[in-house]
Structure formats: C-alpha cells, structure tokens
Amino acid sequence: MDPVTILADVQLAIKLAKMAYDLGKDIAPYMITAYEIMFKNKILTAEERQAMTDQELSWRAEIDAVIAADDAATD
Amino acid sequence: MKKIIAIVIVAFALTGCATMEKVGTVISAAQNFQITQGQVDSARNSYDGFVLGPLHKYALLPRCKTGQTLTINNPCHDRKLLKQIRTVDIQVAKAFLDTQNSITSGDSKGAVAAYTTLKGLIDIAKSLIAQTGMTVLGA
C-alpha cells in the first residue's frame, strides 16, 4: 500500500468516525432515557416530556422545510 | 380469641386481594392488555433515538443528484426516501398521540389498540430508516 492510499483510508475513517460521533451525540440522551425508563423505573416529569415534544417538533419542522425545498427544486 | 382469628383472616384476605391485583396487573401487561405511561415514554425515546434523530440528520445532508447515492465521501439524502419516511413518521406521531390520549383518559382498550398500531408503524419506520444508511453510523 502506498502512503497516499493509506492517508486516504485514514481520512475516510476519520470522516466516518466524525459522522458517527455527531449522530451518537444527538441520539444518546434518548437511548439512555429509554433504558432508564425500562430498566431503572425512571418516571418522566411533565417538563421532560414537554422538552421531548419540543425537540420532536423542531426536528419535524426542519425535515418538512427540507422536503419543501426538495419539492421546489428543479434539479 | 375469635376476634384475633377474625382479624388475621381479614388481614390475609386483604393481602391476598392486593397480591391477586398485582398478579392480575402482571398478567395483563404480559398479555399486552395494559399499556403503561412508562411503556409509551420508553417507546417514544427509542423512536426519537433510532428513527427521528437519524432522519433529521439525514434530511440535513445535501440533496442527492440524480443517480447519486449516499457514501461517506459524498453524503446526501434521497428526496423520495426522505418523503416516504416522513409520511410514515406523521402516522407514527399520530399513533403516539392516540396512545397517549387513551392512557390519559383511562381507556385501556383504546390504548392497547393504539399501541399495537404504533408498534407496527415503528417497525415500518425502522426498516425505512435502515435504507438511508444513517443507522450504520451509530443509531
């Protein structure tokens, strides 16, 4: 393997790791909460439930905006 | 002496009632006859983590050009797939709301029906989100 190929592979691995880290950072709190509810008898407060609802609304609004932009695009 | 026996019998009867009630709850839960707030909250958190969060990340990628698919070097979202998953997501959100409303109003039969629908929709959403490639990245 030549150094250029090795460097390209390393850069690819770093990109993948960065994407995985970014995604994991966002979703980890939800997975941890689900685990705590299931196995540690955690009960969500009204505030926690509301925060979850707000986050869902925000995500869905952004997704809908992207879909609207996709529909409007001609490419 | 009779009084003591009577008290002991009443005490045993009460304990028995409570125990039977607990057993009944466990059996109901095991047979999916009862949906708890915890089950819904847990399912919602799992859904947000496994489907909605990754879908949001996927949507924020640039739009794929015709014939292009998602790769690490060229991350992009497929507009048709995004729309398809969002359509299922709308149904999931409604099923979560229906389940929550049934639980809040004490309609256990309605909650079971809504939760069953919800679980089916979540399975569809999960299989679709797997097609985006976002689950490979850690979801």
- Comparing CB atoms, the residue among B38, B63, B75 nearest residue A37 is B38
Global pTM?
0.76
Contact A56 B49 (CB under 8 A): no
Q: What is the pLDDT of residue B31?
A: 55
ipTM (interface predicted TM) = 0.84
Kindly tell me if the per-residue pLDDT of A49 is higher than 60: yes
Contact B49 A30 (CB under 8 A): yes
The tens digit of pLDDT for each residue in B50-63 reads 999 999 999 999 99
The tens digit of pLDDT for each residue in B65-93 reads 888 887 877 889 999 999 999 999 999 99
Most B CBs within 10 Å, among A18, A25, A35, A37, to test the B interface: A37
A47 interfacial to chain B (CB closer than 8 Å) = no
Give the pair of three-digit tokens for residue A8: 């390209």
**What is the mean predicted confidence (pLDDT) over B118-139?**
78
Phi–psi pair at B63, nearest 5 degrees: -70, 135
Phi–psi pair at B77, nearest 5 degrees: -110, 145
CA A43 to chain centroid, in Å, comes to: 24
Helix extents (H) in chain B: 2-30, 37-47, 53-59, 79-104, 108-132
CA distances from B132 to A27, A60, B54, B78 (A): 16, 17, 9, 8
Q: Which residues of A touch B134 (CB under 8 A)?
A: 23
> Smallest CA–CA separation between A51 and chain B, in Å?
12
Q: Is B74 left (phi over 0), alpha (psi -120 to 50) or beta?
A: beta
